[in-house]
Amino acid sequence: MYCASCVDACVRDALIAALESIPVGSACVVVFATQLAEAIAIVRAHALLADDRVLAVAVARLDGDAAEQLMAAGAAEVLAWHGGIEPIAARLRRWAAVDELLASDAVARTLVGASAAWRRVLRELVEVARFTDAPVLVTGETGTGKELVSRLVHALDARETKRDLVVVDCTTIVPELSGSEFFGHEKGSFTGAVAARNGAFALADDGTLFLDEVGELPLLLQAELLRVVQEHTYKRVGGSVWQTTSFRLVCATNRDLEVERREGRFRSDLYYRIAGWTFHLPTLAERREDILPLARHFLAEHLGEAPEIDDAVAQQLVRREYRGNIRELRQLCARIAYRHVGPGPITFGDLGRDHACDAPSGPWCDNGFQRSISKAVAMGIGLKEIGRIAEDLAVQLAISAENGSLQNAARRLGVTDRALQLRRASGRGANGTNGHNGHNGQNGHNGHDA
């Protein structure tokens, strides 16, 4: 817990004592009274450097403008404290439960990656999947993992009576047969209907209906889905009896449905029914620090365990451009695995013709980097702080890419082992931000700063 200097010592000690028995996981609690600027600085430093969630707690009056500024600085939640600990404890327990799910085999072995961009999406997705029954819309470029994420929503759904996941590929729907595909049909309702048949909505009863590439649905069919998505009632083709169904709806698309809606290619009324929660998956270029962990995961799928990856190969894997995102990386790793023989590391020869891959064009400081700096400048962060955060983040990423090896990370960064050891000893780079105004307690970077 981080306390701004303006917080009364009695209040600080009461909060510290109350939070001692609460599992905070990777959360950071920032407590402040009247010094909003100081609280914003603490929130900003922690939120930008690490992917930990920040809970800002006001012990004085909290207005909407202050809450908005704290959220803009990177806080995940802002609460006003009125003497009771339960609102704070409830949020921290929820976050701890989400972190536990993130560490579970169902998530960690399926959706590999520890980058901040990826974990931010996964944390919110896991919370929505487990603790709500709301419809979910997953968007992103081809190959970013939309189907895996959609299946995870079903896997984490906590309904006791949950049944099957029913998948409908909207790119294969034939308009003439779409009614039967979705709603089912009665015997004799059309030529060839020799028996009654359940459609997707009936099959998904008490389960999850996954509409893959929902953006490809024609407008006429979109209109036909409105009632069943909203009311969960429908009629079979050729039938006169209203049927009921109970399902969770998950949709995925590589289209920008906001743009499609504005331009009249996707119905607004259907969009607002399916987009209870929307999650946009980052491209592989936006999570380059996950490339090597993903590569090791895919190589292990083919070889039983992942061999060591030669430095030259690792650099090539990280620097190349993946237009097909994770799917392209997976196919590349399959080819590498087929070429690799013997117990040694993956070498440049294992790349074969894939060594002549396209590298990202332009400077390494691409649009994503420029957007981050623009955001920092807009938030009022000074040049010195931007430089410090960039340095610390580079150290974190290098250590992560080298599986915790300070020696290899130092070689990659062009510094000495001693330099990284000093950073780790001071709490910079390897273990998050520096503490504020005091000492770190037993929870590491979540300790109590007096």
For 56-94, letters b (16+ CB in 10 Å) and e give bbbbbebeeebbebbeebbbbbbbebeeebeebbebbee
* DSSP character at residue 440: -
Burial of 29: CB neighbours in 10 Å, binned 0-12, 13-18, 19+: buried
pLDDT classification of 433: cutoffs 50, 70, 90: very low
List strand residue ranges (DSSP E) for 98-191, in order. 136-139, 165-169
Q: Is the pLDDT of residue 438 over 60?
A: no
Q: What is the pTM of this model?
A: 0.78
Give SS3 for 206: coil
The 10s digit of each residue's pLDDT in 158-191 is 998 899 999 999 999 888 778 888 998 877 677 7
Per-residue pLDDT at 59? 81
**Percentage of the chain lying above the pLDDT 90 cut:** 42
Give SS3 for 91: helix
CATH class of 2-101: alpha beta
Contact 115/106 with Cβ under 8 angstroms?
no
The amino acid at 319: R
Per-residue pLDDT at 168? 95
The 10s digit of each residue's pLDDT in 253-268 is 999 999 999 999 999 9
Instruction: Tell me how far apart the alpha carbons of residues 305 and 308 are, in angstroms, rounded to a whole number.
Output: 10
The 10s digit of each residue's pLDDT in 120-148 is 899 999 999 999 999 999 999 999 999 99
Contact 230/273 with Cβ under 8 angstroms?
yes
Residues in the chain, total? 450
Burial of 205: CB neighbours in 10 Å, binned 0-12, 13-18, 19+: middle
Least confident of 60-74, 197-211, 296-310, 389-403: 389-403
Residue at token pair 């690490």: 50
- In CATH terms, are 2-101 and 284-356 the same topology? no
Per-residue pLDDT at 194? 66
Tally of CB atoms within 10 A around 440: 16
Q: Domains of the chain: which residue ranges?
A: 2-101, 108-280, 284-356, 382-426
Pinpoint the alpha helices (H) of 237-366.
257-262, 268-274, 291-303, 311-319, 325-339
Per-residue pLDDT at 1? 57
Q: Is the pLDDT of residue 276 over 90?
A: yes
Instruction: Tell me how far apart the alpha carbons of residues 140 and 136 are, in angstroms, rounded to a whole number.
Output: 13
What CATH code would you report for 284-356? 1.10.8.60
For 258, the token pair is: 């906001």
108-280: CATH topology is Rossmann fold (3.40.50)
H or E element in which residue 57 lies: strand 54-58
Per-residue pLDDT at 354? 66
**Between these two residues, 424 and 412, which has the higher pLDDT value?**
412
Of 357, 311, 308, the closest CA to residue 332 belongs to: 357
**Between these two residues, 270 and 401, which has the higher pLDDT value?**
270
Per-residue pLDDT at 342? 85
**Between these two residues, 379 and 25, which has the higher pLDDT value?**
379
Give SS3 for 351: helix
Instruction: Tell me how far apart the alpha carbons of residues 419 and 406 are, in angstroms, rounded to a whole number.
Output: 10
The 10s digit of each residue's pLDDT in 310-332 is 998 998 999 899 999 999 999 99
User: What φ, ψ does residue 238 adopt, rounded to 5°?
Assistant: 85, 0
The 10s digit of each residue's pLDDT in 220-232 is 999 999 999 999 9
Average confidence (pLDDT) over 57-63: 81
Average confidence (pLDDT) over 340-353: 87
The 10s digit of each residue's pLDDT in 391-419 is 888 887 787 777 677 888 888 888 888 78
